[in-house]
Structure 1
Amino acid sequence: MAMAGLDNTLKEPAAVFAALAQILYSAEDSAEVYNAICSAAVELIPGCDHASLMLRRGKTNVTVAASDEIAAYADELERATGEGPCIDALETDLPQLESDLRTPNQWPEFAQKAVSETPIRGSMGFRLMVDRRKFGALNLFSDTPGAFSKDVADQAVVLTSFASVAVTALSRGEDSDSLRRGLASNREIGQAVGLLMALHRVSEDKAIDTLIRTSQEMNVKVADLARKVIVDHRSTLD
């Protein structure tokens, strides 16, 4: 299946992105958008207890949002040790996944500090692309060993790809109408397919099948969260 055929075949992912967009439309500035992405990650991704968003500013990786102090501190540990899921996601095309940091893994120093100084036991990192540049990464952390799996990562890929579009719009100073047009173009769906191909090392056809199945599973949950956010936002205006 060619990427050009996405418009006609991926209705489920499009529905998920449309619901996620409703969460961001209630935000008033970039800080609220970044925090909404982290909050959505904790609400939507199974086993995710903490989330952070790290963006590259020149040669520095800056945490622009975190769901809580634990996620923010985990980012500090990554910068201090020079290793971790977010840093690796920024440098490579592969999603980063370690389900149990207590076992030997690719980030020994970060893992040792995270396990000894925080409740974090599992982590994932996913790059954000803006105009084909590695612009940032979404960091997800679990307090439960083994909670993160490739199936869970599939759902994180969907959210990450949506976040890439939102961050792109913000980096260009675009408004919500521009974001709507970006979502309609299915750029983020193409990014999701690419991440799933890298994560599972499968063909484009297989990745598209995974994206459709994952989106079907997420759709109701995402829509419910979007409605809740909108209701909460409106109540603050009354």
Structure 2
Amino acid sequence: MHSRDLIDSSARLARELLAIIHDEPSTIDQIAAGLVRAATGLLSGHGVAVTLYVDRGRTVRAGSTPTVQELAALEAKVGRGPTVRAAATMSPQEYDGLSNSTRDAWEGALERAGYCSVLAVPIEVGGAAAGTVAAYQPGIPTFADRDRASALLFAQQAAIVVEGGRRIVQLRDAVSSRDVIGQAKGILMNRYGIDDTTAFRRLVEASQDMNVKLVDIARWYVTDQDGSTPSRPS
């Protein structure tokens, strides 16, 4: 990729990625979908999948097509492949299938979908893999240098979006949780004539007794509003 092209692509990509978090995404899934749209424009002619690793081991995936998204999920299930290696080694990884005489479930599905090669690049945040971007190429077993440079450029800039987007989502969720807890305390204070501290203590005790998150207990009171003690969820 020529320097002028790289500068133009970088500027255009920065604008597209900024738009993802500028609209205050409501979920990590929407961030992943926005990243796929941006990557598809940069990696023209390729299928694209973005995988994001969320707190507590949850993984979010989005693909430029349902088939690509299914391939990314299948690779993770099989437990080996370029995306898995990219996240583990924190370095770009490629698959061309040329050296493999046998096929596992993912490789067979990849071949049936018409893709010959896959390029996966880690999205690094704080020295760890926050996700990956994978390009699926039909017809040709090796990637052009321009594609490699574009995928690396995308992953580097996507890291800012992933971290910024996660913080926005966490902040929004924290504000929402605080509001719900405040409403639940108000309901208890009004029904039982207790003060703020006692109302909060009752919510905490119910949360601990039933091993349910405090915000979920509070949400139960807000949505039910009968003032009774919530029963353990089934």
Common fold by TM > 0.5:
yes
- Structure 2 spans left out of the alignment, 5+ residues: 1-5, 171-234
Max Rg structure: 2
Q: Residue 133 of structure 2 corresponds to which residue in structure 1?
A: 138
Q: Residue 31 of structure 2 corresponds to which residue in structure 1?
A: 33
Partner Cα distance (1:16, 1:106) in 2: 41
2:82 maps to amino acid: P
- SS of the equivalent of 2:61 reads strand
Q: 1:161-181: CA deviations, max 9, x gaps?
A: 111110011122279xxxxxx
- SS of the equivalent of 2:139 reads coil
1:67 maps to amino acid: S
Partner Cα distance (1:106, 1:57) in 2: 35
- SS of the equivalent of 2:84 reads helix
Q: Residue 175 of structure 2 corresponds to which residue in structure 1?
A: none
Kindly state the Cα deviation for residue 80 of structure 1 after the two structures are TM-superposed: 2.5
2:60 maps to amino acid: T
Partner Cα distance (2:19, 2:139) in 1: 27
Alignment map for 1:122-161 (pairs within 5 Å): 122-146=117-141, 148-161=143-156
Q: 1:167 aligns with which of 162, 171, 191?
A: 162
Greater relative contact order (CA < 8 Å, ≥ 6 in sequence): 1
Q: 1:76 aligns with which of 63, 70, 73?
A: 73
Q: Residue 84 of structure 2 corresponds to which residue in structure 1?
A: 87
Q: Residue 16 of structure 2 corresponds to which residue in structure 1?
A: 20
TM-score (norm 2): 0.58
- SS of the equivalent of 1:122 reads strand
Q: Residue 183 of structure 1 corresponds to which residue in structure 2?
A: none
Kindly state the Cα deviation for residue 27 of structure 1 after the two structures are TM-superposed: 4.1
Kindly state the Cα deviation for residue 159 of structure 1 after the two structures are TM-superposed: 0.9
Partner Cα distance (2:58, 2:103) in 1: 20
- SS of the equivalent of 1:52 reads strand
Change (3 A) 1:80 1:17: closer
> May I ask how many residue pairs the two structures share in their alignment?
162
Partner Cα distance (1:108, 1:143) in 2: 17
Percent of aligned pairs sharing the same letter: 18
Partner Cα distance (2:52, 2:102) in 1: 20
Kindly state the Cα deviation for residue 153 of structure 1 after the two structures are TM-superposed: 0.7
Partner Cα distance (1:57, 1:121) in 2: 30
Task: Say whether residues 1:62 and 2:41 are aligned partners.
Answer: no
Change (3 A) 1:162 1:113: same
Quick check: 1:47–1:144 contact (8 Å CA) kept in 2? Answer: no
- SS of the equivalent of 1:136 reads strand
